[in-house]
Amino acid sequence: MYKEKINAYIESHRQEIINDTSLLCQINSVKMPAKDGEPYGPGVARCLNVALDMAQLYGFPVADYDGYVGCVDFGTDLPRHLDILAHLDIVPAGEGWTQTEAFIPLEKDGKLYGRGTSDDKGPAVAALYAMRAVKELGIPLAKNVRLILGTDEECGSSDIAYYYSKEAPAPMTFSPDASYPVVNVEKGGLHGHFTARFTPSDALPRLVSIQAGTKLNVVPGKAVAMVEGMDLSVLEDKAKQVEEKTGVHFEWGQEGEVQAITAVGVGAHASKPEDGNNAITGLLTLLAALPFAPCGQMEKLAQVAALFPHGDVNGTTLGIDLEDEISGRLTLAFSMLAVDASGLEGQFDSRVPVCGNRENVLEVVRGKMEGKGITLLSDSMRPAHHVPADSDFVRTLLDAYESYTGRKGECLSMGGGTYVHGLENGVAFGAAMPETDNHMHGADEFALIDELLLSAKIFAQVIVDLCS
C-alpha cells in the first residue's frame, strides 16, 4: 500500500536529500571537549542544531535533550511505537582522501563523498525524508514514529545512556547504521587496554617513542616511530623488505638527531579489520627487524609484536579465535599504541561472537599477556545482542526490503556495535546494500545516492506498515 506514491515522492526530492545531507556533512562533528550546553563540543552541537532546524522547517515537532540527543516526532499526540535511532557525530577525517576533502561533500558518479555521508548523516536524512513523505502524502498514522538523533555513537554512546535515563525505549527500534537486510545479531566486545613498564636506556641506536592510532574502533592507517642513532640506509633496506611482506609503506623525516618513521597502511572500521592494513602491526614488524641496542623497552615491544602479528585479525595468536553459527568469527584490531622510554600503553578492539565469554576470551588474553609481563587493565566485556529473526517486527522490515529491492530478505550478524545493542527489541536496518563498501571510517567515505533514496522509500513503507 502507498508504494507508488512513496516512490514518486522520494524521487521528486532527490536533490533536496543530497543538499540536506551535504549541509550536515560540511560540519566537523567530531567529539570535542565539553562546553556549557555542548556536552560533546561546538561542532557536534552545531550539527544537532542544524538537523533540528531542518526537521522543524519540514513541520515536525522537535526536542533537544540538553545537547545529548535531538528528537523529531511525527505526532506528539500519538502513542510511542517506533524509534529510528541515527547519529550525527563522526570519526576524525583521517588521512588519504583523494576525491575531495573530508568536509567538502562532492557528488560524483552517483556517489556523495564526505565524512558522515554513510555513517550516519546520510541515513539520518533518509529517515527524515521517510517521515516527511508519510506526512506530506497525507498517510494517516495511529502511532508515533520518532527519529532520535544521537551525538556520541562513535565514542561510547553516553548520549543514548542520557536519553534513556529520561525516556523509555519504544516497543520497536531500528538503527540505519549498518547494512541491509536486517542485522539482528551484534557481536559482543572486548576493548582491551594494556600497559607495561621497563627501565629507560640511552644506548644507541634506540627507539625514542611511538604514537599510533586515533580511536579504539578504527584500524590505524598511520603510525609514527621516532628513532635515534640508526643509519638511514639500514632503515631503508629493512623497510623495503617489510613493505614487500606486509604491504605497509614507510616514509622518513629528520628532526634534529631523531629520524621519524611513518608507517602508512589502510584505515578501516575495527569491526572489519580485514578491510584495512594495520599500520601499527606493520610498524612493529619493521622495528623488530632493526638492530637496536638491547634494552628492556625493545624486549617488551617484541613481546607485544609477537602477541599481535601483522595480518592476525582473528586473535589467533592470543588464543581467542572463536566462531559460531549465529554470529560468525571473532575479529581483532590493534588500534592504539603509545611508547616512551619507560613504558608502553596499547588498546585493541575485539568483536566477540555469541559463544565468547569472560572465561574463554578475557581471561585467556590476560593469561597470555601476564606470561610476557604485560598487564591487561580491562576487566569486563560487552555482551552480544540478539533479536529473534521470526519476530513480527523483523518480518515487517524484511517484507519492506523485499518489496522495494526485489531481493530475498534475511537476517545477518555484524561485528560493529550499533545504538540498538542494549535495546531488547532493536535491530540495525540499512542504509547500505550488502555489497556496498562505502569506506566507513576510512578515506573517501561515500554514500551511493540511489541507496539513500531507496532507504528513504523503505523506511517510509516501514513507518506505514508499523504505525498505521
Question: Would you say residue 1 has pLDDT above 80?
Answer: no
Tell me which residue of 72, 16, 126 sits closest to 451, measured CA to CA: 126
Cα–Cα distance for residue pair 411/467, rounded to 1 Å = 22
Which tens digit of pLDDT belongs to each residue from 344-378? 999 999 999 999 999 999 999 999 999 999 999 99
Cα–Cα distance for residue pair 190/348, rounded to 1 Å = 8
Cα angle 220, 316, 372 (rounded to 5 degrees) comes to: 85
> What's the whole-number mean pLDDT along residues 464-468?
97
Question: Would you say residue 196 has pLDDT above 80?
Answer: yes
Cα–Cα distance for residue pair 328/413, rounded to 1 Å = 7
The rounded mean pLDDT for the chain is 96
| 16 contacts 126 by C-beta, under 8 angstroms | no
Tell me which residue of 258, 142, 154 sits closest to 214, measured CA to CA: 154
Helix residue ranges per DSSP H, 290-344: 296-307
Tell me which residue of 151, 166, 146 sits closest to 27, measured CA to CA: 151
Which tens digit of pLDDT belongs to each residue from 416-428? 778 898 898 999 9
Q: Choose, from 73, 89, 349, 451, the residue flagged as catalytic.
A: 89
Give the Å distances, CA to CA, from 397 to 27, 175, 409, 459: 31, 12, 9, 9
Which residues sit opposite 334 in a β-bridge? Answer: 348
Tell me which residue of 279, 372, 273, 282 sits closest to 318, measured CA to CA: 372
Measured in whole angstroms, the distance separating CA 261 from the mean position of its chain's CA atoms is 27
Cα–Cα distance for residue pair 412/74, rounded to 1 Å = 29
Give the Å distances, CA to CA, from 437 to 123, 275, 419: 15, 10, 21
Residue 195 phi/psi, 5° resolution?
Answer: -140, 165
Q: Which pLDDT score, from 0 to 100, does residue 262 have?
A: 97
CA 272, 277, 279, 284 dihedral sign is positive
DSSP letters spanning 195-211: EEE------SSEEEEEE
Q: Which pLDDT score, from 0 to 100, does residue 320 have?
A: 98
Which residues sit opposite 277 in a β-bridge? Answer: 266
Question: Would you say residue 256 has pLDDT above 90?
Answer: no
Cα–Cα distance for residue pair 303/196, rounded to 1 Å = 11
| 275 contacts 268 by C-beta, under 8 angstroms | yes
Q: How many CA atoms lie within 13 A of 127 on its CB side?
A: 31
Which tens digit of pLDDT belongs to each residue from 22-75? 999 999 999 999 999 999 999 999 999 999 999 999 999 999 999 999 999 999
Instruction: Express as a percent the part of the chain with pLDDT over 90.
Output: 92
Compute the radius of gyration of the chain from its Cα atoms.
Answer: 24
Place of cell 560493529: 416
Cell, residue 208: 625514542
Q: Choose, from 20, 107, 119, 153, the residue flagged as catalytic.
A: 153
CA 415, 68, 430, 396 dihedral sign is positive
What is the DSSP pairing of strand 182-186 with strand 331-339? unpaired
> What's the whole-number mean pLDDT along residues 213-234?
94
pTM listed for this prediction: 0.74
Q: Which pLDDT score, from 0 to 100, does residue 421 have?
A: 85
- Beta-strand (E) ranges in 213-257? 218-219, 222-228, 249-255
> What's the whole-number mean pLDDT along residues 326-336?
94
Q: How many CA atoms lie within 13 A of 266 on its CB side?
A: 13
Q: Side chain identity at 172, as an amino acid letter?
A: M
Q: Report residue 156's pLDDT band, with 50, 70 and 90 as the boundaries.
A: confident
Tell me, what DSSP letter sits at residue 230?
-
> What's the whole-number mean pLDDT along residues 381-386?
91
Which tens digit of pLDDT belongs to each residue from 96-133? 999 999 999 999 999 999 999 999 999 999 999 999 99
> What's the whole-number mean pLDDT along residues 163-183?
96
H/E stretch holding 410: none
Cell, residue 269: 572500521
Cα–Cα distance for residue pair 217/213, rounded to 1 Å = 10
> What's the whole-number mean pLDDT along residues 450-461?
98
Cα–Cα distance for residue pair 221/275, rounded to 1 Å = 11
Q: Which pLDDT score, from 0 to 100, does residue 237 have?
A: 95
Annotation says 89 is catalytic: yes
| 431 contacts 129 by C-beta, under 8 angstroms | no
Annotation says 64 is catalytic: no
Q: Which pLDDT score, from 0 to 100, does residue 409 have?
A: 96
Cα–Cα distance for residue pair 425/359, rounded to 1 Å = 28
